Amino acid sequence: MKKTTIYGIRLLIILFLFIPLIFPFIDKRENNISLMHLQVLHPSDLNFKYDDKAKIKKMITNFFSNDIDIHFNSFGKKSNTPVQDFEDLLQQIDKLRGQIVILSNAHLYGENALKFNSSLKETSAYKEKRLFYIPLDRIIPTEAKTEGEYVLISDIFIPKISFLGEESIATVSLIGKANANKKIKIEITLHSGNSFLNSKTVELSVPENNLIRQSFDIPINFAKTGTQVITADINSPLAHPPLNSASTSVQVVYSKTTLLHIAVGPDWSLRTLRQKLKFWPNLDLLSYYILREINSDQSIPSSQLSLIEFPADKLFGSELQNFHGIVAQNFLFDTYLGEKESENLVKYVYNGGRLFIQAGPLSFLSESQSIKSLFPCENIPKWDMEKTYHWAANDTDFINNSNFSRSLDNIVTHATAIDCKPKKEAVILAKTKEGNHPILLAMPVQKGIVLSFLAGDWLTGYVQEKLIKSNENAIRMRNADSSETIFNWLIEFLQRRQDSGIRAPDILGPRLYADENSIDIRSRGGIQLGKTIYLITNANKNLSGSTLSLQKLNKEIIEFNSPISSIVQLQNGNNLSSTVVEMALGQEKSDKSILKFGNWPIFPQTAKRMEKYDNPFLFENVATFTQKEEVVKENTAVIEKVPLLNAFPWLLALALALLCFEQFLTRILWREEI
């Protein structure tokens, strides 16, 4: 029995020694646990001292643990505006992995702040709860101490288009901090330049969380049409300049739009367009169409034809200025307008009128040079009444509307003008997929603009093909909806005579500063990307610049080659009050009559430095260092080929232990018995 035990132990020893020779390597799955990586994002113009970094690291390690790897990254530039800095911050957040701590101020307000919060909540870091925020003044106290209580104007909103004689509403948004349950009386005053519009005294009730966020509606009535800059001021011991003031621009137009519709016909396209114009709300339509021509639709009964003389001398004489827009549908100008009436039409467009040419075979047959100046084509297009043409939006930035562009792709026409050679000033909005012919063009003509549809049946073209399959009905409905979208856009074009010409960018505000090289805009209007934009004062001084797109915030700004102060003389350059300057944005810098000026308050740079109050809602719902968090370490599975003894070193140890035990038995304990 003892010999059997000894032999068994020796066999196990040999087995353990030979296993590494038989299986020298083995695949092993390991968990690779590393330190948690944490990225600190801070403004690039922030000069960290050693104590500041130590303070940040201590705050982070106290919140997480000492087992953490901290990296510092910067965002923005010293020359940037706040909105550019926060755009760069969003880009950095998208690039980084691991936990992210944002160290920043919250000096962003109004529409820009809303867009930033919305974009921030779409990032993966926010959704995965990897995002934290530390107010900058917790690390580096500001030189100018801010009061514990304050109220400021975050934004002012007025509908972009307001109507003369009809009440409009200005919404003034206030934010701030104050003691809980405190009652604060504030007077809000609205004015345009030196013209008083309205005022309202309101009372704020501060909630338990000490944060103020409330909006107030104030009715206003406009006494004149055109571009107006509306400024809101608040008067309260807790409100300080320049954040106690905010401005926005608005276009005031007539409440009723009067259109003149002239046509040669009738045909079904004419009847369709006239019917749709007739029943459009807030639209007064005066429609004249000429008795039938040779190529007119002979199926229309005589009882439906106009039997009165076409009053060209009245319509294109003293009455012409009463129309906000003119629709010329398949109209032969030379036949029905005299030389004087033709000149009046051209002057009407030059002075800001809007002309819509709904083209037909007669539209471009005029011999008058003044009338030809309104045509978008250098030649006379040919008409194709047999082939079907499908439209496609042209690659242009003239129209910044994706729904409009998608709708253009669904238009089908059967009466189409082809081979148009556009004038250099004409902008091609759409072409045909077959032959790449220009089909929809917009052409600025001094103050006015001419819109031309080089197809006679774009409103009815989609119904001229027979339905073969049942599912084609859905396609027809889609095309009908697209046609309706284009028609709605056309009506807006015709209603905007007071805002005629290529639409200039809308300055966003809410505050402009003299020493800045860029301004925020609500939209760039009809000015294409890459085109030079001018900021022009009523003193005929100008700055040139170009639009810059901010992808994350989905907005645009204009960057100038010099600060605004280079063309503006401030009255009070060393205090916090603003100077009202009559300014306009546009693509033309020579002809002031084309531009639409507004009275914008300009603040000196000393006032810019007083934008020291945080927006307490800027990083809303982003985690702060308020409760202890467990360290989230990176845990990744790794499979690699390793030596067997490295993977299982106990095999050799066990063999040596068995050898020692075997020697003990044979040489000491059972020496005499074996």
Q: Read out DSSP for 605-636?
A: HHHHTT-----TTTTTT-B-S-S------EEE
SS3 357: strand
Residue 96 has pLDDT above 60, yes or no: yes
Match 């005294």 to its residue by tokens.
Answer: 201
Lowest mean pLDDT among 21-30, 178-187, 372-381: 21-30
- Would you state the pLDDT for residue 356? 93
Q: What is the pLDDT of residues 214-256, one digit of tens each?
A: 999 999 998 887 788 999 999 999 999 999 999 998 888 777 7
The span from the CA of 584 to the CA of 581, in Å, is 10
SS3 8: helix
The span from the CA of 35 to the CA of 38, in Å, is 9
- Would you state the pLDDT for residue 637? 47
Q: What is the pLDDT of residues 296-313, one digit of tens each?
A: 555 666 555 555 667 888
The span from the CA of 183 to the CA of 17, in Å, is 87
The b-or-e profile of 528-566 (16+ CB within 10 A means b, else e) is eeeeebbbbbeeeebbebebeebebbebbbbebeebbbe
- Would you state the pLDDT for residue 498? 47
In sequence order, the 6+-apart residues with CB closer than 8 A to the CB of 631 are 36, 64, 65, 67, 68
Burial of residue 604 (number of CB atoms within 10 Å: 0-12, 13-18, 19+): buried
8 Å CB contact between 132 and 602: no
CA dihedral 590, 592, 597, 603 (to 10 degrees): 50
Q: What is the pLDDT of residues 611-640, one digit of tens each?
A: 889 999 999 999 887 544 444 444 444 456
pLDDT grade for 525, boundaries at 50, 70 and 90: low
Distance, C-alpha 15 to centroid of its chain: 74
Run of H or E residues at 403: helix 402-408
Q: What is the pLDDT of residues 437-460, one digit of tens each?
A: 999 999 988 878 899 999 988 888
- Would you state the pLDDT for residue 52? 80
Lowest mean pLDDT among 233-237, 240-244, 324-328, 583-587: 583-587
- Would you state the pLDDT for residue 230? 93
**Phi and psi for 310 in degrees, rounded to 5?**
-70, 115
What's the mean per-residue pLDDT of the chain?
A: 82
pLDDT grade for 186, boundaries at 50, 70 and 90: very high
pTM, 2 dp: 0.65
pLDDT grade for 190, boundaries at 50, 70 and 90: very high
The span from the CA of 503 to the CA of 354, in Å, is 13
C-alpha distances in angstroms, 602 versus 152, 195, 579, 608?
Answer: 18, 17, 5, 11
Of 505, 402, 510, 397, which is closest to residue 83 (Cα–Cα)?
Answer: 510
Q: What is the pLDDT of residues 531-573, one digit of tens each?
A: 788 888 888 888 988 888 888 988 888 889 999 989 888 876 5
The span from the CA of 304 to the CA of 293, in Å, is 15
Categorise residue 29: left if φ over 0, alpha if ψ from -120 to 50, beta otherwise: beta
The span from the CA of 245 to the CA of 213, in Å, is 16
